[in-house]
């Protein structure tokens, strides 16, 4: 139940299931990584946008959580991000940066609405069946 991979940028990511689902709890859950990816993407956007506005928060962190459907595939039905910024930051400019990230720039959050296509191979042979 444990998987690891190396990203194109050379970083290892390890995932595992909880013990009650047959895993050994040696890595993050894929759904946890999905929420972290959304937070990281929007955080990078917001800092970049604020810097272009010549604003530099003295502190910035986020609290992110998601609501999942009860039935399989138990997808996220909502993601809530609480942005916590400190510094000399006009509220209207922070709101603008958050809106731009949410509505225009954050490719991860926009990808949650993506149609996902898949392919497969077994023992080195590409599968022909459409999934």
Query: How do residues 52-105 score in pLDDT, each as one tens digit?
Result: 999 999 999 999 989 999 999 999 989 999 999 999 999 999 999 999 999 999
Give this prediction's pTM. Answer: 0.84
Model pLDDT, residue 117: 67
For residues 4 and 28, is the Cβ–Cβ distance under 8 A? Answer: no
Regarding beta strands 59-68 and 76-86, do their DSSP bridges make them parallel or antiparallel, or are they unpaired? Answer: antiparallel
Residues of the chain with pLDDT > 70, as a percent, come to 95
- Report the distance separating Cα 131 and Cα 128, nearest Å: 9
Fill in the DSSP letter of residue 20.
G
């Amino acid at each position: 139940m444990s998987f690891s991979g190396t990203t194109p940028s050379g970083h290892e990511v390890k995932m595992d299931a909880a013990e009650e689902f047959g895993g050994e709890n040696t890595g993050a859950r894929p759904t946890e990584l999905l929420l972290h990816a959304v937070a990281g993407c929007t955080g990078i956007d917001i800092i970049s946008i604020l810097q272009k506005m010549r604003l530099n928060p003295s502190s910035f962190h986020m609290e992110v959580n998601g609501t999942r459907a009860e039935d399989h595939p138990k997808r996220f039905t909502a993601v809530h991000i609480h942005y916590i910024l400190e510094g000399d930051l006009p509220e209207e400019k922070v709101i603008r940066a958050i809106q731009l990230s949410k509505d225009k720039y954050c490719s991860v959050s926009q990808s949650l609405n993506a149609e996902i296509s898949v392919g497969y191979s077994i023992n080195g042979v590409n599968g022909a069946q459409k999934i």
